[in-house]
C-alpha cells in the first residue's frame, strides 16, 4: 500500500463532504428548485469542484431522498407535492412520537436540562423572527431542529434518531420553500415540554402529533398560496427523474 496516497484520499473525501453539504443546503433552501436538473458541468463551476467529488456528493443526496438519479440521464432535485408532504409528515408523526415516548421513559436530569435549554434557545430566536427574513428563518430552523432532537435524545435508539432527523430535514425543505410563518408555535412547544417533563407520555405524544399535523397543514396552505399552479401540476407526479425533467 502506498502511504503517500492516503492524504490524497482524505482530501478527496473532505471535498466531497463539503460539496455534499453545500448542495444539501441549497436544496433545502430552495436555491436549487424542486425538479431542477443537477447538470454536472454547471455544478462543477458553481461549487468549484471536480466531477468525482461532485458525483460522490450527488449519490449521497440520493440516499437522503433529496435528489433522484435515472441511469445515465443524470441527477435531479427531488420533486415536492402535497402528497409527498403528507406522507413525510405522517411518517414523522409515527417515528417522533415513538421516540418521544421512549425518551420520556428513559430520560434523566441531563435530558431534562437539554430539553429546557433547547426550548429557551428556540423561544429567544422566535422573539426576533421577522416575516420574509430568510437568514433569521434558517437560524430558527436550526434551533427548532435542536429542540426536537433534544426531546427524543434519550430514546436509546440510534435508528429512531436517524430516521427522525431525515424526516425533519425534508420538513425543513418544505418550510424554506414555503417560508411559512412560525410565530404561533411557542405555546405548542411549551405544552409539549411541560407534558414531557411531567412524564405524561400519552399527553406529550398527542400534543406532538397535533403540532406536526398543524405544521403540515400550514406548509400546505403556504405552498398553495405561494404557487398554486406549481403545486397543482405536481399532484399525481412522483419523484422520478422523468417527471422532474418535464418540469425543468
User: CB–CB of 36/70 below 8 Å?
Assistant: no
Rounded-to-integer distance, Cα 47 and Cα 69, Å: 20
Predicted confidence (pLDDT) at residue 236 exceeds the cutoff of 50? no
- Residue-wise pLDDT for 52-80, tens only, equals 999 999 999 998 889 999 877 899 999 98
Residue 95 resides in a domain: yes
Residues 103 and 65 grouped into a single domain = no
Rounded-to-integer distance, Cα 213 and Cα 190, Å: 17
Residues 63 and 134 grouped into a single domain = no
User: CB–CB of 61/169 below 8 Å?
Assistant: no
Query: Could you tell me the CATH number of the domain that includes residue 71?
Result: 1.10.10.10
Residues 63 and 136 grouped into a single domain = no
pTM (2 d.p.): 0.78
Residues 58 and 90 grouped into a single domain = no
Q: How confident is the model at residue 102 (pLDDT cuts 50, 70, 90)?
A: very high
Q: How confident is the model at residue 232 (pLDDT cuts 50, 70, 90)?
A: very low
Cα 229 to chain center, whole Å?
24
Residues 225 and 102 grouped into a single domain = yes
Residues 115 and 70 grouped into a single domain = no
Q: What's the Cα-to-Cα distance from 71 to each of 18, 68, 241, 245, rounded to whole Å? A: 25, 10, 10, 13
The lowest-confidence range among 144-158, 160-174, 177-191 is 177-191
Rg (CA), the chain: 20
Cα 193 to chain center, whole Å?
22
Which range in 63-72, 140-149, 234-243 is most confidently predicted, on average pLDDT? 140-149
Predicted confidence (pLDDT) at residue 239 exceeds the cutoff of 80? no
Ranges assigned E (strand) in 19-127: 67-69, 75-77
Residues 172 and 200 grouped into a single domain = yes
Query: Could you tell me the CATH number of the domain that includes residue 192?
Result: 1.20.120.530
Provide the domain limits for residue 172. Answer: 82-229
Residues 65 and 177 grouped into a single domain = no
Residue 243 resides in a domain: no
Of residues 180 and 82, more confidently modeled: 82
Counting residues of the chain whose pLDDT is more than 90, the rounded percentage is 56
Residue 67 resides in a domain: yes
Residues 46 and 105 grouped into a single domain = no
Task: Quote the number of domains for the chain.
Answer: 2
Residue 238 resides in a domain: no
Q: How confident is the model at residue 243 (pLDDT cuts 50, 70, 90)?
A: very low
Residue 90 resides in a domain: yes
Residue 214 resides in a domain: yes
Q: How confident is the model at residue 227 (pLDDT cuts 50, 70, 90)?
A: low
Can you give the pLDDT at residue 155? 97
Average pLDDT, the chain: 84
- Residue-wise pLDDT for 177-216, tens only, equals 766 554 457 889 999 999 999 999 999 999 999 999 998 9
Amino acid at each position: 500500500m502506498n502511504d503517500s496516497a492516503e492524504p490524497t484520499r482524505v482530501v478527496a473525501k473532505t471535498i466531497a463532504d463539503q460539496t455534499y453539504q453545500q448542495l444539501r443546503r441549497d436544496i433545502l433552501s430552495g436555491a436549487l428548485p424542486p425538479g431542477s436538473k443537477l447538470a454536472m458541468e454547471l455544478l462543477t463551476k458553481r461549487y468549484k469542484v471536480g466531477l468525482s467529488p461532485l458525483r460522490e456528493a450527488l449519490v449521497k443526496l440520493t440516499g437522503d431522498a433529496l435528489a433522484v438519479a435515472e441511469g445515465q440521464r443524470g441527477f435531479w432535485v427531488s420533486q415536492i407535492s402535497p402528497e409527498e408532504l403528507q406522507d413525510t409528515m405522517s411518517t414523522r408523526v409515527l417515528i417522533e412520537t415513538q421516540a418521544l415516548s421512549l425518551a420520556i421513559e428513559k430520560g434523566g436530569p441531563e435530558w431534562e436540562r437539554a430539553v429546557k435549554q433547547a426550548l429557551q434557545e428556540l423561544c429567544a430566536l422566535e422573539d426576533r423572527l421577522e416575516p420574509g427574513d430568510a437568514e433569521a428563518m434558517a437560524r430558527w430552523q436550526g434551533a427548532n431542529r435542536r429542540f426536537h432532537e433534544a426531546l427524543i435524545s434519550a430514546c436509546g435508539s440510534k435508528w429512531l434518531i436517524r430516521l427522525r432527523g431525515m424526516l425533519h430535514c425534508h420538513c425543513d425543505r418544505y418550510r424554506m420553500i414555503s417560508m411559512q410563518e412560525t410565530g404561533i408555535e411557542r405555546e405548542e412547544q411549551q405544552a409539549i415540554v411541560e407534558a414531557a417533563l411531567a412524564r405524561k407520555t400519552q399527553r406529550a405524544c398527542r400534543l406532538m402529533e397535533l403540532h406536526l399535523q398543524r405544521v403540515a397543514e400550514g406548509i400546505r396552505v403556504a405552498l398553495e398560496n405561494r404557487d398554486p399552479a406549481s403545486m397543482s401540476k405536481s399532484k399525481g407526479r412522483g419523484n422520478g427523474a422523468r417527471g422532474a425533467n418535464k418540469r425543468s
